[in-house]
Amino acid sequence: MVLAIDIGGSKLMMGCVDTAGEIREKITVALNPPVTAQGLTEMVRAGAGQLNGVKAGGLRAASVNIPGLADAENGVWVHAPYSGVGNFAVAAEFSEIFGLPVHIENDVNACALAEKRFGLCEAVEHYIWVTVSNGIGGSLVTDGRLYGGYVGNAGEIGHFIVEEDEEAAFLCGCGSRGCLEAMAAGPGIARLYGRLSGRQISPDMRSKEVGELARAGDADAVAAFEKAGHYIGKALSYAVNFVNPEAVVLGGGVMMDDALLMPPLERAFRRFFFRRANEGVRIVKTALGYDAALLGAAAVALAGLEN
């Protein structure tokens, strides 16, 4: 087995996973702001004491999902727009805790690798993996291999500018305005709802609550999901037009509410993409469900053992 660690926007997950992708045990701990490198290290240390697989020994390796820019080769968490954590030598720090080789990878890259190893892309060689959660990230697989780009940061679809109107564009954690992440991730959907409804919303409000309002018939909540879905579909069309994938795989907590997001997403995508160049492209939900990120970390650890 390997130890998988997923650092999300609102939670930390840790689990022991076998080579077939079965999660033998896992724990989930809420992440409350401010999120810091020191705080995360202490949470991981405490979580290790709750996992029987860690206490019993016999784990071969560990991997950590980084929500943001990651220097996978050197094991450094470079920067996370959502939390501000950066310049954190996470692999070395966690290796000291567990006494194991520790690999790191951008969280969406890890999910893309898991889809290849455990999910619906086993026979797919060209695909984009996109997560919609507290942030939005993307990953590109070409010829069956992860494409990292010049310094390993390819796939940052969450920072496509999808809203150019300065009055309408929300400020993103990266410093720009109108990024897909700012406009259509969980917090962005809540902010859209606040703007459309004219209500003062809590800074802690997320898309799950807006989804509940939408299903109860709140027209402003429905409109917030319509707008977010439009933004996502628009961004996906640009990505597909550029790289010509066979499939786009969608994951993340917000996409679990796909009945509200998918219709406007698909309408916008069909409107903007170059149909003749991409006639066979499919937009599908991940086969890995809510555990995609944890399985992603496991896939990275297993690949590290094989290499």
Domains belonging to the chain, first-starting first, are: 2-107+291-306 (3.30.420.40), 120-286 (3.30.420.40)
pTM of the predicted model over 0.85:
yes
Q: Work out the number of other CB atoms within 10 angstroms of the CB of residue 92.
A: 12
* Nearest of 133, 195, 139, 134 to residue 163 by alpha carbon: 195
Helix, strand, coil content of the chain in percent (nearest 5):
40, 20, 35
Element spanning 224, H or E:
helix 219-243
Q: What is the pLDDT of residue 58?
A: 86
* Nearest of 48, 15, 10 to residue 292 by alpha carbon: 15
* Nearest of 89, 237, 241 to residue 162 by alpha carbon: 237
> Quick one: 126 exposed, middle or buried, by C-beta within 10 A (0-12, 13-18, 19+)?
middle
Q: What is the pLDDT of residue 277?
A: 98
Q: What is the pLDDT of residue 145?
A: 95
Single-letter amino acid code for the residue at 95? S
The answer to whether the beta carbons of residues 199 and 210 sit under 8 Å apart is: no
* Nearest of 185, 166, 183, 301 to residue 254 by alpha carbon: 185
* Nearest of 144, 132, 114 to residue 283 by alpha carbon: 132
Residue-wise pLDDT for 16-37, tens only, equals: 999 999 999 999 999 988 999 9
What's the rounded Cα separation, in Å, for the pair 282 and 262? 13
Q: What is the pLDDT of residue 256?
A: 82
Q: What is the pLDDT of residue 9?
A: 79
Using 50 as the pLDDT threshold, list the residues of the chain that sit under it: none
The beta strands (E) that lie in 18-165 are given as 23-30, 62-66, 69-71, 76-79, 86-88, 102-106, 127-132, 136-142, 145-146
DSSP code for 177: B
